[in-house]
A and B are shown apart, each in its own frame.
Chain A
Amino acid sequence: MNQGHSESSESRFYSAITRVSVAQICQSVGYKKAQNRALDILSNIAGRFIQAIADSATVSANSGGRTESNLADIVSALEELGSVQGFVGAHELQGSHCLMSSSVLKGIMRVVDWNEESPFAQPIPKKILPDVKKSGCQTGLVHVPRWLPEMPEITGNGLGLETKIRTEVMWEETSRKNFAERERKLLIEGSEKVKKGFELPEKRMKVKFKMGMGMVNKSFGMDIGMRNSGVFSRSGNGKRILCQGWNDE
């Protein structure tokens, strides 16, 4: 009943239209005002009624081996829905009966003949659909059904996929490449000795980290390693991280 926020804007649009048209029908019947909730419920039921007709007509078309419903399907759907209330001639429905003898259809005919028509107040923008006629027949592919959307245009010699420049890189290649780069950065001179591939270098340089109040630097390798050391400090007497690296060779 309650229209949630998760509904798409399209269905909200259509439920608003249903509301207006139901309100129009109520007005034509003789009502002057309506409660919001009553109108909501009635328009919800109107939507469900149409869907129930469609469901029933589709099922009866499918059981008859057809995809498109016809007048007989709709009339039988209406009779099915009208069977709650009952209608004239409902007792002799089994088997094939003439459509014109259906009292439900006669009732609708009476509405068309006698009721004053009150069309919907505003014109509704037509939904833009892809041009169905272009697919299938016009592309020359007879086996493509009419209802499919238009075929995508094939450019060039039809080998678009193969002529495309290959930009993707395989995972193995990227990892190997990155690894090589990292090694090049890490190692100073003598990095030529590093074997290719995933093997580690035989000797690695020592890296030492020291954290804490860096005002007193008691690291023994200070004199030698000063050049290679990177000191990260935060404004004055904050934490200090000392990174020292030196080469054994």
Chain B
Amino acid sequence: MNSNPGQSYQQQASSNSERHDDDAALSEFLASLMDYNPTIPDELVEHYLAKSGFQCPDVRLTRLVAVATQKFIADVATESLQHCKARQSAVVKDKKQPKDKRLILTMEDLSKALREYGVNVKHQEYFADSPSAGLDPVSREE
């Protein structure tokens, strides 16, 4: 197949050394996971993993899943925060509210952000307390 055995050997050697570097970086990364405390606790991740039949004794992989989930949630939250800020900057600016109170995670922003991640959130326009809530007062009295 290959006409130049020396070249192929060289390629192999370089790919081997690359692989070696990658392995070292991977194991270094996994070792750093041992020191990293994700916001989502290990016990929680283990609970969900066990629910789906996931079997792995390695704590580092549990941490990896935790960090991945944390990243996902943080991405969604950042996205909806951008929506929130964009919406508020578009609104009339003379209404001066304290900045802290305006940053609220709302359904509107969240559903917009989640749509980009493939999650369609549909929510009711309103909640009815009782079956008779929507009826007109005359029929309710009856």
Chain A residues at the B interface, C-beta cutoff of 8 Å: 14, 17-18, 21-22, 24-26, 28-35, 37-39, 41-42, 45-47, 49-51, 53-55, 57-58, 61, 67-71, 74, 78, 81, 84-85, 98-101, 107-109, 111-113, 117-120, 124, 126-127
Interface residue tally for chain B (C-beta within 8 Å): 59
Given A21-B41, A25-B70, A99-B22: A30 and B51 interface contact (C-beta under 8 Å): no
8 Å CB contact of B41 from A39, A117, A124: A124
Find out whether the CB atom of A112 lies under 8 angstroms from the CB atom of B105.
no
The answer, among A22, A35, A57, A107, for a CB contact under 8 Å with B54, is A57
A108 touching B64 in the complex, CB below 8 Å, given contacts A39-B105, A71-B30, A120-B41: yes
Given the interface pairs A100-B25, A108-B67, A126-B43, the reply to whether A50 lies near B30 with Cβ below 8 Å is no
CA distance A51 to B68 in the complex (A): 12
A30 proximity list for chain B (CB < 8 A): 78, 81, 103
Q: How far is the CB of B5 from chain A (nearest CB, A)?
A: 24
Write out the residue numbers on chain B whose beta carbons fall within 8 Å of the beta carbon of A108: 64, 67-68, 71
Q: Is B121 close to A, CB under 8 A?
A: yes
Q: How far is the CB of B49 from chain A (nearest CB, A)?
A: 5
Report B-chain residues with C-beta under 8 Å of the C-beta of A70: 56, 61
B1 at the interface (CB under 8 A from A): no
Query: Do B73 and A25 have beta carbons less than 8 Å apart?
Result: yes
Contact code string B95-115 (vs A, CB < 8 Å = 1, else 0): 000001101111101100010
In the bound complex, how far is the Cα of B103 from the Cα of A124, in angstroms?
Answer: 30
Please give, as numbers and ranges, the residues of chain A lying within 8 Å of B61 by CB-CB distance.
69-71, 74
Give the CA-CA distance A30 to B69 in the complex, in Å.
18
Q: A-B pairs with CB below 8 Å: how many?
A: 177
Chain B residues whose CB sits within 8 angstroms of the CB of A28 once the complex forms: 39, 74
A41 → chain B, closest Cβ, in Å? 6
Interchain CB contact (< 8 A) of B44 among A21, A68, A81: A21
Question: Contact at A46–B54, with CB atoms within 8 Å?
Answer: no
Q: Closest Cβ of chain B: how far from A57's Cβ, in Å?
A: 6
Smallest beta-carbon distance A201→chain B, Å: 67
Task: Output the least CB separation between A190 and chain B (Å).
Answer: 73
The 8 sampled A-B contact pairs (Cβ below 8 Å) are A14-B47, A25-B77, A34-B105, A46-B69, A51-B52, A53-B69, A54-B54, A71-B61
B37 to chain A, nearest CB (A): 4
- Please tell me if the beta carbons of B25 and A84 are within 8 angstroms of each other in the complex: no
Cβ of B42 to closest chain A Cβ, rounded Å: 8
Residues B118 and A50 in contact, CB atoms below 8 Å apart: no
Residues on B with C-beta less than 8 A from A45 are: 73, 76, 114, 119
Task: Judge whether A42 and B77 touch: CB under 8 Å.
Answer: yes
Given the interface pairs A69-B61, A117-B37, the reply to whether A33 lies near B104 with Cβ below 8 Å is yes
Residues of B within 8 A of A32 (CB): 100-101, 103-104
